Amino acid sequence: MSCTDKETCTCTPAGSLPVDGEASPGIEAGRRAFIKAGGAFATIALTPTVTLMSFGGGKANAAQESLDPKARWGLLIDVAKCGTGCSECVSACQKENGWQDTGHPETDAQWIRKVTVKNPKSGAVAELPVMCQHCDEPPCADVCPTGASFKRADGIVLVDKHLCIGCRYCMMACPYKARSFIHETLIDQKPYAPRGKGTVESCTMCVHRVDRGEIPACVESCNLTGGGAMMFGNLNDPQSEIAKRVAELTSTQLRPDLGVDPGVHYTYL
Amino acid sequence: MARIIYREARSRTFLWVFMALMAALVVTGLSSAWYMEHHGHIVTGMNNGIVWGLPHVFAIFLIVAASGILNMASLASVFGKTTYKPKARLSGLMSIALLVGGLSVLVLDLGRPDRLTVAMTSYNFKSIFAWNIFLYTGFIVIVGAYLIVQMTRSWMKWTGAVGTFAFVWRLILTTGTGSIFGWLVAREAFNAAMLAPLFIAMSLSLGLAIFITTRLLLDYGCGDRSLGTELIERLAKLLGIFIATTLYFQLLMHLTNLYSAARGGVERFLLVEGGIYPLLFWGGFVILGSLIPMALVFLPAFNRNRMMVGLASVLVIAGGLASIYVIVIGGQAFPLNIFPGMEVSSSFGDGQIQHYIPSLPELLLGIGGWALAALITLVGVKILPILPVEDNVTLNAAAAAG
Amino acid sequence: MKQRIRQVLATALLAVALGAMAGISWPGMASAGEASIQVAAVPAPAIPEAKPGTECVRDPEFMRRNHMDMLKHKRDLTVHEGNRLPEFSLNECIACHAVKGDDGKNVTVADSRHFCRSCHDYAAVKVDCFQCHASRPEAGDTALQSSPHGMNVLALSEFLKGVQE
């Protein structure tokens, strides 16, 4: 549901409602400056393989009115580059979203974790990050009784905590153990990552950053200080870096046999 | 055939004492729920690996039994077995009581029980859970209507129709409850269509076991003798058939899983290596909960003895709890198979058996649900004309008439 | 006779009771909106004033009546449709309505001076927003939308200065 009729919408003061995709006057100045700086800034200050390149050329919006329903945000993880013992992605996620290790691994939330996979026959070992796979047909969304667990039009799977009753059925249903339940009262949450006792949560693909035109914290940190194994982008845009790589490399998804079509792809697994 | 007369239960000390005890247990249950809600689920044994614990075992037990206990009434109204007609009202009352008890445990264990209104107004109809909410509340209304129809002279002719409606609804409801687990692709211990018929079979055996136990207790408490020898024997054999059916479905489910190489691991865990789970399955469900009761109910030496049949029923109840524990908690304890064929480890418990130690608040909440069901039953028989008089006369007259 | 006396007494009692109620509440009704010292058992809320020169998305009277509906409506737009415009952002509300405590830092909802609590405590309506949402802006967060978050704020602001010159 979105307000498109300026006459009947009572949310915004008259005159400041966005007209045909333009932002209200107050934002325009800031946005113009940001866009000007954004392109140059990204190519110079950040390493070339990431960020704006991964977007397939989309403009960076400071504040958007709605998501892009034609996009499908996804991740591509190069397992060969994922370093042994490196957990930059985990630390970055913790810092960005405000969850941490309190010494109780069984009840602590974990949005992303490093999994060590060993082939028992050959002895080969690999490490890779596992997080919510943002499936195209998420079992968690199918089973949620209130509809709190849902998939956004742009492919990001979220928990609408206004509707979550904490029944944990989605945690039973997730094949990837992606979801965590919050077992205690929380204080001083990050403003862009609301989380509270009695509800279920999981990796949001840093939706608050994606909506600003940025990339998830894990991808950013992996490329800045980690092994450069993670890439983010729009899988539906054939011009995007991620779509091209998925098309040309042999990549796989976790448990593809389940048919849920995760948005996270792994190469060299 | 003599017309059956129903009356409210006579006041007996036993009844009052039992009611007070149940009320006290309900209060402890509510206090536990408050404690869990206030401090968060950190005070329970549940964690990110075992998300549904003891409260859910109790809740599922109560809900499944609620559906099955209506069978007594269905036998009378739907299948025309008039021998069971005097039992119909108690069966209906207990059906509602058990369901309310089970639902209260389920709701109070939610992470956000204050959001019950959200659960009642916002629905995702792809979820079997959402359907169950309608099935459960609808069941209470329908069985309530069934009781009213039986108790109102001018509406008695509708008993058959409403009874049949309740019977069908009950089958759908139990299928829905089984499918909560059966429709999960993620877990190897679930994801079986067999769970729905298994739950129906379980409902029949657990329902009848609870009915027999309650009826015997009420007889003792009110000084009645409503279960004569003939009837006890019939009920015992019926219980035996239900036990056998449940055992059959359980064994078939495990055998099917064992045949698949992929599920060998989870079956080995549940049936052999898992510690508490094989113990509860074989010792609790198979031996104590199925084989011994079957001996008691089928052997002529025992099945006309009220104490023995009562004992068999109690063992079936214990076995039922054990098997639900294995299904619900054992099914979660086995790690998810994200990387088939590989050995995995991580900081989030990947590849490891999930641990669960039930905590006291969970146990008290579960028992509180049971106590609530008992309390509703006791209050119901006290204020409504539920219990029949001259039960034995009716039965013997029918037998004499041929 | 006794019946008649009882009727008269009852009517008189009723009249006195009604009169007392009217007498007590009339001054309050006449000066609605002001704190009436005779009747207020609870002090009227001390709502933190807005910073001079700032304006909420709607006027106070409208907000007092409708902020709950606005919040409920807009949160769906943000969560489900990715609407991050400032007038739809709870963080903007919280940032603008932040109240500083004794130590110079913004207070959380645990402090009774928090903006939302100043009215909600008085009205005795519990809000559960802050079970999940942060009740104060993050330290160093400026209220407006164009400040990007993350690791490179300083570098970006330097660059912006360079671009604008």
pLDDT value, residue B396:
52
Kindly give the residue spans of alpha helices, DSSP state H, lying in B223-335: 229-259, 264-268, 276-278, 292-298, 306-325, 331-333
Nearest to A172 by CA among B40, B368, C110, B50: B50
In a domain, B312, yes or no: yes
Helices B88-108, B13-39: axis angle to 10 degrees equals 20
What domain count does chain B have? 1
Q: Give the residue with greater pLDDT, A42 vs C14.
A: C14
Over 80: is that where the pLDDT of B229 sits?
Answer: yes
Kindly state the average pLDDT of the residues B313-325: 97
Over 80: is that where the pLDDT of A47 sits?
Answer: no
**Cβ separation of B110 and A184 shorter than 8 Å?**
no
Distances in whole angstroms, Cα of residue A28 to Cα of each of A13, B37, B63, C78: 17, 46, 59, 20
Nearest to A90 by CA among B336, B338, B347: B347
Query: Is residue C145 within 8 Å of A62, Cβ to Cβ?
Result: yes
Nearest CA in chain C to A193: C133
A220 part of contact set with chain C, CB < 8 Å: yes
In a domain, A263, yes or no: yes
The β-bridge relationship of strands A73-78 and A264-267 is parallel
What range does the domain containing B128 cover? 6-335+366-393
Report the mean per-residue pLDDT for chain B.
Answer: 91
In a domain, B385, yes or no: yes
Q: Which residues of chain C have pLDDT under 50?
A: 33, 35-37, 142-156, 165
Nearest Cβ partner for A63 among C75, C86, C164 = C86
DSSP A47: -
Kindly give the residue spans of alpha helices, DSSP state H, lying in chain A: 25-45, 88-97, 139-143, 169-173, 207-210, 217-225, 241-248
For the ranges A173-177, A210-214, C151-155, which has the lowest average pLDDT? C151-155
Enumerate the β-bridge partners of residue A267: A78, A251
Distances in whole angstroms, Cα of residue C144 to Cα of each of A227, B68, C63: 35, 61, 20
**Cβ separation of C149 and A209 shorter than 8 Å?**
yes
pLDDT value, residue A50:
40
Q: What is the CA radius of gyration of chain C?
A: 25
Task: Say how many C-beta atoms besides its own lie within 10 A of residue B376's C-beta.
Answer: 20
DSSP B83: G
Nearest Cβ partner for A106 among B49, B112, B129 = B49
Nearest Cβ partner for C155 among A16, A45, A212 = A45
Backbone angles phi, psi at A159, to 5 degrees: -110, 120
A73 part of contact set with chain C, CB < 8 Å: no
Count of pairs with CB atoms under 8 A, one residue in A, one in C: 134
In a domain, A182, yes or no: yes
A27 part of contact set with chain C, CB < 8 Å: yes
pLDDT value, residue C150:
33
One DSSP character per residue, B299-323 reads: STTTTT-HHHHHHHHHHHHHHHHHH
In a domain, B97, yes or no: yes
Task: Return the structure tokens found at B270.
Answer: 């549940």
Backbone angles phi, psi at A125, to 5 degrees: -120, 140
Contacts of A40 in chain C (CB under 8 A): 159, 163
Query: By three-state DSSP, how is residue C132 classified?
Result: coil
A32 part of contact set with chain C, CB < 8 Å: no
Whole-angstrom distance, CA of residue B65 vs CA of residue B36: 26
Distances in whole angstroms, Cα of residue B216 to Cα of each of B206, B209, B210, B226, B304: 15, 11, 10, 8, 13
In a domain, B1, yes or no: no
In a domain, A28, yes or no: no
The C-alpha of C7 sits at a distance from chain A's nearest C-alpha, in angstroms, of 56
pLDDT value, residue C140:
61
In a domain, B294, yes or no: yes
pLDDT value, residue B130:
94
Backbone angles phi, psi at C99, to 5 degrees: -115, 135
In a domain, A216, yes or no: yes
Kindly state the average pLDDT of the residues A11-25: 41
The confidence band for A29, taking pLDDT boundaries of 50, 70 and 90, is very low
Query: Is residue B178 within 8 Å of B197, Cβ to Cβ?
Result: yes
Query: Is residue C106 within 8 Å of C100, Cβ to Cβ?
Result: yes
How many Å separate Cα A35 from the centre of its chain? Answer: 22
**What CATH number is given to the structural domain containing A251?**
3.30.70.20
Residue B401: its H or E element: helix B391-401
Residue B167: its H or E element: helix B159-182
The C-alpha of A63 sits at a distance from chain C's nearest C-alpha, in angstroms, of 5
Over 50: is that where the pLDDT of A263 sits?
Answer: yes
Q: What is the pLDDT of residues B132-145, one digit of tens each?
A: 999 999 999 999 99
Environment class of residue B160 by beta-carbon count within 10 Å: exposed (0-12), middle (13-18) or buried (19+)? middle
Nearest to B191 by CA among B182, B199, B180: B182
Residues 6+ apart with CB under 8 A from A231: A49, A50, A54, A75, A76, A77, A78, A219, A241, A242, A245
Count of pairs with CB atoms under 8 A, one residue in A, one in B: 171
**Cβ separation of B122 and A163 shorter than 8 Å?**
yes
Nearest Cβ partner for A168 among B42, B52, B184 = B52
**Cβ separation of C132 and A195 shorter than 8 Å?**
yes
Chain C interface, best mutation among A31, A35, A66, by max C CB count within 10 A: A66
**Cβ separation of A45 and C159 shorter than 8 Å?**
yes
Q: What is the pLDDT of residues B14-54, one digit of tens each?
A: 888 999 999 999 999 999 999 999 999 999 999 999 999 99
Query: Is residue B390 within 8 Å of B12, Cβ to Cβ?
Result: no
Kindly state the average pLDDT of the residues A149-172: 96
In a domain, B354, yes or no: no
Whole-angstrom distance, CA of residue C129 vs CA of residue C70: 14
A207 part of contact set with chain C, CB < 8 Å: yes
Helices B229-259, B391-401: axis angle to 10 degrees equals 90
pLDDT value, residue B399:
55
**Cβ separation of A167 and B110 shorter than 8 Å?**
yes
pLDDT value, residue A56:
33
Whole-angstrom distance, CA of residue B280 vs CA of residue B273: 12
Task: Return the structure tokens found at A206.
Answer: 């840093």
Residues 6+ apart with CB under 8 A from B111: A164, A165, A166, A167, A168, A181, A182, A197, A198, A199, A200, B41
Helices B54-69, B195-222: axis angle to 10 degrees equals 80
The confidence band for A30, taking pLDDT boundaries of 50, 70 and 90, is very low
What range does the domain containing A172 cover? 68-267
pLDDT value, residue A41:
44
Proportion of chain A above pLDDT 70, given as a percent: 77
Nearest to A145 by CA among B120, B306, B216: B120
- Beta strands (DSSP E) in C27-160 are none
ipTM: 0.90
Over 60: is that where the pLDDT of A21 sits?
Answer: no
In a domain, B199, yes or no: yes
**What CATH number is given to the structural domain containing B154?**
1.20.1630.10
DSSP A193: B
Query: What sign does the CA torsion over B77, B79, B81, B82 have?
Result: positive
Task: Return the structure tokens found at B66.
Answer: 């609620």
What domain count does chain A have? 1
Residues 6+ apart with CB under 8 A from B11: B382
pLDDT value, residue B394:
47
Nearest to A203 by CA among A107, A101, A109: A109
Q: Give the residue with greater pLDDT, C87 vs A230.
A: A230
Q: What is the pLDDT of residues B248-304, one digit of tens each?
A: 999 999 999 888 878 888 999 999 999 999 999 999 999 999 999 999 999 998 888
Nearest to B189 by CA among B316, B52, B362, B357: B52
Q: What is the pLDDT of residues A59-116, one digit of tens each?
A: 445 577 888 899 999 999 999 999 899 999 999 999 999 999 999 999 999 999 999 9
In a domain, A153, yes or no: yes
Nearest to A135 by CA among A254, A268, A266: A254
pLDDT value, residue C60:
86
